[in-house]
Amino acid sequence: MLHPTTRKLMAHVHSRQRQAFAALSTQLDGESGRHGLKQLGLDKAELLSHLKDFRGQIVWPWEPDYNTDRALFNPLFDAYPVVILYCTVASDAVFALTLAKLVEERTKLAFTVRSGGHCTAGFSAGAGVLIDMSQINDVYVDAAGMTATVGCGVNFGKFRAALLPYKLHVPGGECDDVCIGGYMQGGGYGFTSVTYGMNCDNVISMTVLLADGTIVTASETVNRDLWWGMRGGTGGTLGILLNVTYKLVTLGDVFGWAIIWPIATAANQADAVTALNLLQDNYMATAPSKQLNIQVSLCYQPGVVAGLPLPPAPMQPYLMVRGVWVGNATDGQAAIQALCNSPGATTQWTKTASFDVLNTELLNLPYGMPCFAADAVMPREDKASRIVARKLTSAEWQSLLAYFVSTPNPYSYFYMEFYGGAINEYPVADSAWIHRDALYNAVLDVFWWEEADRAASQAFLDGWIALMEPLYNGHAYQNYPRLGDPNWADKYWGDAQGKLAAVKGVYDPKTLFTFAQCIVQRN
């Protein structure tokens, strides 16, 4: 028997749903509502029949929150979906998918699935129905069993906060507002991945809504091919991810650091090349321990110390090495001492703290990377990834430094995410994330605010891609897609794309889920 309080709460919820449904029915009789129905290719009765049991929020183009709700993290992409459906439970996703399929059949407007909207290539929205999963965001931590089950809309700020009291951990996104949905399906690199693997390597099981409306579990023992493909096949390719169960590890305080070299002059760049060769020889594939996690950046900063004026004040370019040692400060300092002693190096800071604290400070202390004005709105962004599997010569390092300082504005941001350790140890055949023999992922991110500056920024990115052509191994990290990148399937999946296409044929035989860089199914 239900507790009386529970019965009252359920009655209140059902009453609120009935009121919302009645309000929607009235709205659809108005001019905006009739136009909305025309855009959907439906009549009022059809639409209401599909939404009568939908518990989430519905946002229409005529509503005041629409422009905010349709916005993506990258304002370069400006899609206008015909309706936004915020799912709060799995059944909402089923109703939303059924409606989205019907609308696409009637209008040819493809639907999109979004969890956090962080895709820098704009794959998180389109002109059709937008199925938003950000409100399926519960976190269940089984501390005794060392697992966590999380909704696909959980962002990493919330996820880490839920794990912190238990001193438990899984490799995660460096930005708090990145959600696990797209992140995990593209692999998922973080500041502890060399120690614990990619985020997708730590997935025990997941629940997935398939194209035919069924909900299935995928794990190493159940629907293994789907489990394989969802981990690296990218978000929105094989189905709608509902939740994930992760294996967790115990993680107390860790040791973090920041070391910096100026690169404005030829002499500075010579020191930076020495440091890059040291990193290459002693901290990449031959890292002293899996406890060592490093990211290397080229970035403009106000200076080395805190408290300097932010842009539009002038900035200078620097080589920056930051990372985490999963262990104590004494061992961590010993591991990086050679870098600290390298010519031209300044140690900005070292700190022992929880990973949650360091994850934020590594990219923001003393200044953001890249560093924007305090009152800056989010700029437009483009980026590209190139994975490197061989050592570079001093001349090649020098060419990268010289090219970077030719940037058309001081907001370009080059970085290298070091691989090795647990990333490279994971069996390459066990997931669709194939980049297991590389040294690092090299990335250039470019930013601009005004349309007049777009061409120069993107030309700079194109030039960097050309410079990387003889340096990289032909692959790219699928979580950093770029529109127009040729041979993207080869770059993301290599020899595994045939298997991924076959899995697509099994679970989405009519290619319901599609976007600009979605694998093509094979029956």
pLDDT of 337-392, one tens digit each? 999 999 999 999 999 999 999 999 999 999 999 999 999 999 999 999 999 999 99
Q: CA 43, 88, 202: angle at the middle one, nearest 5?
A: 130
**pLDDT at residue number 16:** 53
User: What is the residue extent of each domain of the chain?
Assistant: 4-132, 139-250+494-507, 254-482
User: What pLDDT shows up at residue 12?
Assistant: 41
CATH of domain 254-482: 3.40.462.20
Pull the structure tokens for residue 498: 């045939």
* Residue 267 neighbours by CB under 8 Å, 6+ apart: none
CA 8 to chain CA centroid, nearest Å: 40
Could you read off the pLDDT of 442-493 as tens digits, one per residue? 999 999 999 999 999 999 999 999 999 999 999 999 999 999 999 999 999 9
Q: Does domain 139-250+494-507 have CATH number 1.20.1090.10?
A: no
Q: Give the pLDDT confidence score for residue 9 in this predicted structure.
A: 40
Question: How would you write 331-370 as a 3-class SS string?
Answer: HHHHHHHHHHCCCCCEEEEEEEECHHHHHHHCCCCCCCCC
State the virtual CA torsion across 313, 447, 361, 351 in degrees, nearest 10: -80
pLDDT average, residue stretch 67-93: 94
Assigned fold of 4-132 = 3.30.43
What angle, rounded to 10 degrees, do the helices at 31-40 and 90-107 form?
80
Read off the pLDDT of each residue in 156-179 and give the average, rounded to a whole number. Answer: 94
Is 15's pLDDT higher than 90? no
